[in-house]
């Protein structure tokens, strides 16, 4: 069973009509098929444009937010790298036989790692905390 077809009468400008006649003159082509394909393509583009209108603003906001997150990550990495460079530059390295100094450094490093783990597990932030005491 073929789909129901509805007859439409339309007016085309002379240049468009001439181009349609030239296309329809080719073997296996008809004016109805050409116009059906053209109208279908136009309607599909219109639907895609509607989706772009609906989601474009939201996608733009998400893209901007991701850009800010990326920028903040770069700032944090650069800050940490500069801090480490500074600390390494101002502190003299420990001597090989300074076992007490190395033990103290290891203890401090372990305390640092433990504190970072606690902060992350609790979901707290040291910098940029919004509530006092956080």
Q: What is the predicted pLDDT for the residue at 46?
A: 76
Give pLDDT, residue 132: 52
Separation of alpha carbons 62 and 129, rounded Å: 23
Indicate whether 6 pLDDT > 90.
no
Give mean pLDDT, residues 54-58. 85
The whole-model pTM stands at 0.46
Lowest mean pLDDT among 25-29, 88-92, 114-118: 88-92
Helix (H) or strand (E) segment spanning residue 21: helix 14-24
């Amino acid at each position: 069973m073929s789909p129901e077809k509805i007859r439409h009468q339309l007016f085309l400008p002379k240049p468009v009509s001439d181009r349609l006649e030239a296309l329809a003159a080719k073997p296996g082509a008809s004016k109805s098929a050409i116009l059906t394909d053209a109208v279908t393509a136009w309607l599909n583009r219109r639907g895609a444009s509607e989706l772009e209108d609906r989601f474009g603003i939201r996608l733009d906001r998400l893209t901007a937010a991701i850009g800010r997150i990326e920028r903040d990550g770069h700032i944090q990495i650069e800050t940490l790298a500069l801090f480490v460079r500074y600390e390494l530059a101002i502190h003299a390295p420990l001597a090989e036989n300074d076992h007490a100094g190395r033990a103290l450094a290891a203890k401090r490093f372990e305390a640092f790692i433990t504190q970072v783990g606690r902060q992350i597990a609790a979901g707290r932030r040291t910098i940029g905390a919004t509530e006092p005491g956080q």
